[in-house]
């Protein structure tokens, strides 16, 4: 994908060599094209030392899928990615998708939250996602945390493309997630 991504050292990457997909993603892929390996998760990392925190990097090979990704498609993919992740915990609420630039790449970002269903403590999971086109790949990052104040720290993890300096994946100014789910 032509990028280096650095995340906090306390995270343990749970990704194996095989592709990791959810049932919804599997169904969507089968509708698009029955091709193994078109969508992978190079990073699925978790840190639960003090709270619930996860980082994901999803790669969709658009050539393998036989599609081109437009700006509108990128925004839809971003919203769907975060919604699918948050839906694992309950009924999510998401904000409007915002377009911005990461290095020299156009990107889309969205934030949201969900109250965990069946949790007596009324835990809220906060999330943010960003997708961009890098070469023939659609790269999507997602950050989840049970601590609202941690979400901007996670989303500020740096990404460096071959043609730019390291920059936060999602700028803090795009993350009003603490107001959601309250």
For residue 34, the domain's CATH number is 3.40.1000
The three-class DSSP label of residue 153 is helix
What global pTM score does this model have?
0.78
pLDDT per position as a tens digit, 98-118:
999 988 889 999 999 999 988
**DSSP readout, 35-83?**
-TTSEEEEEEEEE-SSS-EEEEEEEEEHHHHT----HHHHHHHHHHHHH
Could you tell me the residue range of the domain that residue 9 belongs to? 3-179
CA-only gyration radius of the chain, Å: 15
What are the backbone angles phi and psi of residue 20, rounded to the nearest 5°? -115, 125
* CA nearest neighbour of 25 among 62, 76, 80, 93: 80
Q: What is the pLDDT of residue 182?
A: 42
The three-class DSSP label of residue 14 is coil
pLDDT per position as a tens digit, 36-55:
688 888 888 888 888 899 99
The number of domains in the chain is 1
How high does pLDDT run on average in the chain? 81
């Amino acid at each position: 994908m032509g990028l280096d991504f650095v995340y906090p050292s306390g995270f343990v990457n749970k990704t194996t060599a095989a592709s990791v997909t959810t049932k919804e993603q599997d169904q969507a892929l089968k509708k698009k094209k029955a091709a193994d390996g078109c969508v992978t998760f190079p990073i699925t990392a978790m840190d639960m030392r003090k709270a619930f925190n996860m980082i994901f990097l999803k790669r969709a090979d658009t050539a393998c899928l036989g599609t081109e990704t437009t700006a509108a498609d990128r925004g839809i993919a971003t919203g769907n990615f975060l919604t699918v992740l948050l839906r694992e915990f309950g009924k999510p609420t998401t904000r409007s998708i915002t377009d911005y630039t990461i290095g020299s790449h156009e990107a889309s970002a969205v934030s949201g939250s969900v109250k965990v269903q069946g949790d007596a403590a009324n835990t809220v999971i906060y999330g943010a996602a960003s997708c961009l086109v890098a070469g023939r790949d659609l790269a999507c990052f997602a950050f989840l945390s049970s601590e609202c104040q941690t979400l901007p720290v996670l989303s500020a993890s740096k990404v460096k493309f071959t043609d730019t300096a390291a920059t936060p994946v999602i700028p803090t100014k795009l993350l009003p997630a603490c107001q959601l789910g309250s």
